[in-house]
Amino acid sequence: MTRVFLFLPLVLFAVMALYFGLGLREDPSEIPSQLIDRELPEFDLPPIQGFEAGLSNADLEGQVSLLNVFGSWCPPCAIEHPMLMQISRSGTVPVYGVDWKDPPGAGTAWLERNGNPYQRIGNDAEGRLAIDLGITGAPETFIIDRAGRVRYRHVGVITEEIWEGTLRPLVEHLQAEEGG
C-alpha cells in the first residue's frame, strides 16, 4: 500500500512538467490591457508638425475606429506601415494615429516618405497618452467601438493574418452592432 507513495515524486514531476511546459507556450512579455471594455482615456493631443488637426476623443465619437500608436524611430512600425496603408485605402475603418515620442518633425518626414494612412494624428511627444493607454511598446493598435470603448488591443505589427483573421471580423461585427 505504502509503495504507491513511491510514485508520488514521479507524479509531482509529471504535473509540474505539464504545467511549466504549457507555460512555455505563452508569451510572458504580453501584458493584458486594462482598457478592454473600458472607455478610452480623455485626451486632446496637438497636431504633428505640418498638420492642421490634432487628435482628441471627440474625433473618434460615433464610429468604430482603429487607433494606432507609432513612432518614426520604431522599426516594426515601418514593417507594419504598408498594412495600415492597405487598411486605410480599403475604407473598412477610419485609421487614427498617435505619434509617440517623436522628435519634432520626425513623424511628418516619416509619413511623407512612406505615405499617410491616418485620418488624423495626435502628437504624443511627452508619452503621456501612451502611459494612459498602458502602452508597452510601438506599434500597438486599439479597436474602439461607437461608444468610445476599447474593445481590443493588438501588440506588435498588424500582419495580413491578424487583419483578416482578427481585426477585420471584429470591426465588421462592431459596425453591425446596433447603436454600438
Name the site residues for another protein (rule: CB under 8 A): 28-29, 31-32, 34, 101, 126-128, 130-137
Minimal distance in Å, beta carbon 150 to another protein?
Answer: 12
Cα 13 from Cα 73, distance rounded (Å): 46
- Of 76 and 165, the one with the shorter C-beta distance to another protein is 76
Minimal distance in Å, beta carbon 119 to another protein?
Answer: 26
Minimal distance in Å, beta carbon 50 to another protein?
Answer: 24
- Of 128 and 173, the one with the shorter C-beta distance to another protein is 128
- Of 67 and 87, the one with the shorter C-beta distance to another protein is 67
Q: Which three cell numbers stand for residue 136?
A: 508597452
List, in sequence order, every residue forming a beta bridge with 139; answer none if it has no partner: none
- Of 94 and 137, the one with the shorter C-beta distance to another protein is 137
Minimal distance in Å, beta carbon 131 to another protein?
Answer: 6
Cα-based distances in Å from 89 to 17, 85, 92, 137, 154: 48, 6, 8, 26, 20
Closest CA to 115 of 91, 81, 139: 81
- What's the order of all strands across the beta sheet hosting 140-144? 120-124, 95-100, 65-70, 140-144, 150-155
